[in-house]
Amino acid sequence: MGWLAELFETNRIIVLSVYGQVFFVMGLAVALQSRQRSELPLARPLGWLAGFGIVHGLMEWGYLFVPIQAGFLPQPVIELLLLLQLLMKPLSFALLFQFGVELLLSTRPASDTRRNEWLRFVPAIASGMWAVATIALSSTVAAGFTPDPGPWLPEPEILPALAAVGSPLAVGDVVARIMLALPASLVVAIGLRRTTRLLGPVAGSQIAVALGAASIAFVAYAVLAGLVPMPAPFPPASVLNGRGVLETLGVPIEVFRTLTGLAIALAVIWSLQLFEQETDRILADARRREMLLRERERIGRDLHDGIIQSIYAAGLHLEQASHESADAPDATRKRIGTVMRELNRITADIRSTIFDLRSAELEARDAEAIVLAVADELQAHTLVKLTIRADGLYRPRLRADQAEQLRHIVIEAFSNVLRHAHATTVTVRMACTQRRFTLEVRDDGAGFDTDAGVAGGRRGRAQGLVNIRRRAELLDAKLVVDSAPERGTIVSLTMPVATTRRHP
């Protein structure tokens, strides 16, 4: 085994470089592919995994670059760099731990997640315990212990700095691996297995294999990174450590960790194709939804412009015939009245069908489309002049419950205008910032005294405004009603919403 150990010792700079690069590239790839808006359980926790990869890669590169800088920088600076490398080690493992916890919580039902919110604090608590244990052991059982320079690139210039920093480097490595790296890797492995089961057929066979391989690789990493620390004068580091692996197998522990890290990186990057599949499904669903909405709009337009107009014209002819046939028998006039009532019923049914077809905007959860659809349908049956304007760089995207409540608010607002205000002009203005959507309905109608209540005892309008206020509360929205007799009414609603960038 001596020749093998000599081979790796000669090429130690390559081993350390690749080791850090594997984790850094994985972290960078995950950071660039992170999908915060994705609905998949793997999406939101990925930022923690990206942080682990980048920080851990930089920490491992410290074994390569700190000794090189020891020949050029003063010893106090090298000691500071060693302490920085020491702190980056538990930080990277804590980020991995947090990724595992968030992954586990994302695979649980919402009720379980709320009950287990305390789990999110476990990595921070473990990091605090690492600090306490490192200080305690460094000042007691490991007092005066000089760390093994083996993990660092062999440079004689670094030995004084290692001796000056003392045992915290070795103790911190041992405690970080036992208390953070080991449980973190196992939690991540369990989380990935649960994610695979939760995704089911959505993941596909290739993604399922990638997630399974990543889970197995993290178990191996738990053993190699969590149970094989630097040598230290207390168990388990005094029994199982990196020096013992090198003497027994002739291969540095960094080589095994590099291979495991490479397996983790490849499996994780491969599994990121899951988000590309999700994007393809979303685009396909959007295309199907767009075709469905266009078809519904076409059917509604054809019914409104063709059949309903013909029925309405037939009703007018029958009404005219009824007036002109004064000498006709009562039975004939009764029959004509029956036909007219039937035509009116059919017309109402068709209008209801048209409104239901156009209410498909609720499925799209587009606030502007909902307002336009309601305004268009109500305007078709009145002589009110309607002006609609939408401003802002963003378009509001609503949840299903928000879309339903907004639709009822708009219907109620227009109903008040048409039934009570006797307005001739209505102006609708919509504006959307990155976080809030504002709807303003302004009419030139009779108005009322907002301090004294609804003028003229109009209980219908009063109840309508009460309904609007209740729905605004459900939306966590701010509602302002500004009116005065003979000066019209302004109803303004501002609600928090999610948004998308408006296309030019």
Q: What is the pLDDT along the chain (504 residues), one digit of tens a residue?
A: 566 667 667 777 888 888 899 999 999 988 887 565 666 777 888 889 999 999 999 999 998 888 888 888 898 999 999 999 999 999 999 999 999 999 988 887 766 667 778 889 999 999 999 999 999 999 888 888 888 888 887 778 888 888 888 889 999 999 999 999 999 999 999 999 988 888 777 677 888 888 899 999 999 999 999 999 999 888 888 888 888 888 888 888 888 999 999 999 999 888 888 877 777 776 777 677 777 667 666 666 666 566 666 666 666 666 666 665 655 566 666 667 766 776 776 666 666 665 555 554 445 567 888 888 777 766 666 667 888 888 888 888 888 788 888 888 888 888 888 777 778 888 999 998 888 899 999 988 888 877 654 444 455 556 778 888 888 998 889 999 888 888 888 999 999 988 877 755
Interatomic CA distance for residues 367 and 398, integer angstroms:
7
> Domain boundaries in the chain?
2-271, 287-358, 364-504
Q: What class has domain 364-504?
A: alpha beta
Tokens of residue 41, six digits = 């359980």
pLDDT (0 to 100) of residue 260:
93
pLDDT (0 to 100) of residue 149:
84
CA atoms within 13 A on the CB side of 498: 9
Which pLDDT tens digit goes with each residue over 14-72? 888 888 999 999 999 888 875 656 667 778 888 899 999 999 999 999 988 888 888 88
pLDDT (0 to 100) of residue 136:
93
Contact 482, 489 (CB under 8 A): yes
Which pLDDT tens digit goes with each residue over 269-297? 888 888 777 777 767 776 777 776 676 66
Respond yes or no on whether the N-terminal peptide bond of residue 201 is cis (omega within 30° of 0): no
Output the CA torsion 302→303→309→315 (10° steps).
160
H-type alpha helices, 107-203: 110-115, 122-138, 159-165, 168-176, 182-199
Tokens of residue 374, six digits = 């309601």
Query: What is the DSSP track for 298-338?
Result: HHHHHIIIIIHHHHHHHHHHHHHHHHH-TTS-HHHHHHHHH
